[in-house]
Amino acid sequence: MMTSVPETIGAAASGTWKLGDLPVHRIGLGAMRLTQPGAAFTQGPSSDRGRSIAVLRRAIELGVNHIDTAAFYFSPLRSANELINSALAPYADDLVITTKVGPGRDPSGAWTWATPEQLRGQVEENLRQLGRDHLDVVNLRIARSHRSASVAEHFGALAELREAGLIRHLGMSHTTPDQLAEAQGIAPVVCVQNRYGIGSSPEDQALVRACGEQGIAFVPFFAIAGTGAEEGASGAESEEVRTVSRAHGATPAQVRLAWTLHQGPHVLAIPGTGNPDHLAENVAAGALGLTSDELALLAP
């Protein structure tokens, strides 16, 4: 029997996990797509400011209390952090805002990568834009070309800022098991943000399991977009995903989100959108239960 997923269901239906000592609902919101209606990190048109602010406020109404952002999420006319500040400050006590440092973009949009000494400036930039005196969670984002490099100096610099009270908790993004272990030897790691979704490799699956065994939140990005990455979902879906979506009266995006949440209670979701309808659908995916047969059908 086909069952539809109500779009007014709140984020609490997804369950709860903790980022360190900060409880969050397992469905959150990624801020990357708030700044541009199309592909991210281009010189294309900027988003409608009022619409983006409305999405943020609607997310809070739906119970979302985990927002993922970064100072380098900006378009020619929009800054994700400024939108969050304008829409939500003064912030609710239970709202957890996660950001990431390492990458940066100059005013032209060209990418740069911070040295350990420059990380404090990036942290302070996030503090200023968000209007906060500390950051809840800061992830060290690893460059694609540095995934075999030591993270000790960069993570050590963030650990010092944590000791100074500018950061409450630390995480890793786009990391490897070896880098994660190295970071944990320096300071506690509360979350790992890596690319992950239906079709991910056995190595990715192993890292998800390892995080669960250690009580570390695993927060996948591009769980909906898949290979589309910053460009967004292509619209081309496997027959397996379509079969499950038809069975539940759900969208393929909802099935993809539900699948990630079924990979363990420590797995969170931060789907990004600037569309209020997509926001409601994404949050509702937290209530979508998949059977063991369906999970087996969707398995990589």
Structure-block tokens of residue 88:
């939500």
Picking from 25, 17, 67, 11, the residue whose alpha carbon sits closest to that of residue 216 is: 17
Does residue 73 have an active-site annotation? yes
Q: How far apart are CA 19 and CA 52, in angstroms?
A: 26
Enumerate the β-bridge partners of residue 79. Answer: 74
Enumerate the β-bridge partners of residue 140. Answer: 101, 172
Q: Which of 72, 73, 218, 222 is catalytic?
A: 73
Structure-block tokens of residue 255:
């099935």
List Cβ neighbours of 300 (8 Å cut-off, separation of 6 or more): 198, 199, 200, 201, 202, 205
List Cβ neighbours of 276 (8 Å cut-off, separation of 6 or more): 51, 54, 55, 58
Helix (H, G, I), strand (E, B) or coil at 235: coil
Enumerate the β-bridge partners of residue 98. Answer: 68, 137
Q: How far apart are CA 186 and CA 229, in angstroms?
A: 31
Q: How far apart are CA 103 and CA 83, in angstroms?
A: 20
Q: Each residue of 101-124: b (16+ CB within 10 Å) or e?
A: bbbbeeeeeeeeebeeebbbebbe
Enumerate the β-bridge partners of residue 99. Answer: 138
Q: 139 exposed, middle or buried (CB, 10 Å; 0-12, 13-18, 19+)?
A: buried
Distances (CA, A) of 91 to 67, 96, 131: 12, 9, 10
Structure-block tokens of residue 133:
């005196």
* Residues known to be catalytic: 73
